Amino acid sequence: MKTTLKLSTLAFALTLFAGTSVAHAQDSEENFEGIKFGVQAGWERRKIDETLLPAPNSARLDDKNSGITYGGFAGYDAQFDQIVLGVEADFSPNGKTLQSSLVNGGSIELDSKWAASASARAGIAITPNVLAYGRLGYGFNRYQIRSLAAGNSTPIATERVTGEGLIYGGGLEFAMNRNASFRVEYRRNDYDRSLRSDQVLGGLTVRF
């Protein structure tokens, strides 16, 4: 009888331990760790108010434009319990054209060709499947500045520039499972020559 009671107690203890271990493993599941690749798209608003081009072709460009933006990213995240730290690089092949009319009937325009950035992010997993994070990094924007005479599509003056500056923002990431998640993020880009953009992006991430 005593032997049977001891065996029953031991079996109960082992079952309880196993259940606790499984629950702990589920609670500590790291859904935001690993090498990652993804795509993102959203809405962007660009603005500039600056005098551009060398004299005697200098002119003031004051304009803003909004539209769809898209691109891809790659990076790595490390998760330490609820804390997530990561690095990321992204590239966007599209851009917006900003344009102002001049008093002589001509115009000046800035045509963005591509944008890229490298950034770090830090966040807290507020649940095993939801990550709140902030982002800080450095961005690059390749664009062309053109001054056009009235009724003429051939530029009077042209300058190719790679603007650069800080990017910052934050968002939420939702893990569907260990290998896939989606996110929503606000991002601000401050480039040279007062060129800046505000973005609201949605992204899909695949982890390995």
- 162-173 tens-digit pLDDT: 999 999 999 999
* Rounded alpha-carbon distances, angstroms, from residue 75 to 8, 15, 39, 88, 109: 51, 41, 12, 4, 34
pLDDT given for residue 42 in this prediction: 97
Contact call for residues 158 and 119 (beta carbons, < 8 A): no
Instruction: Record the tokens describing residue 2, joined without a space.
Output: 């005593």
What amino acid occupies position 45? R
Q: Residue for token digits 């005593």?
A: 2
- Backbone torsions φ then ψ of 201, nearest 5 degrees: -120, 145
Residues of the chain scoring pLDDT < 50: 1-27
pTM to 2 decimal places: 0.81
What's the whole-number average pLDDT of the chain?
87
Q: What is the pLDDT of residue 28?
A: 52
Quick check: 79 and 34 in contact, CB under 8 A?
no
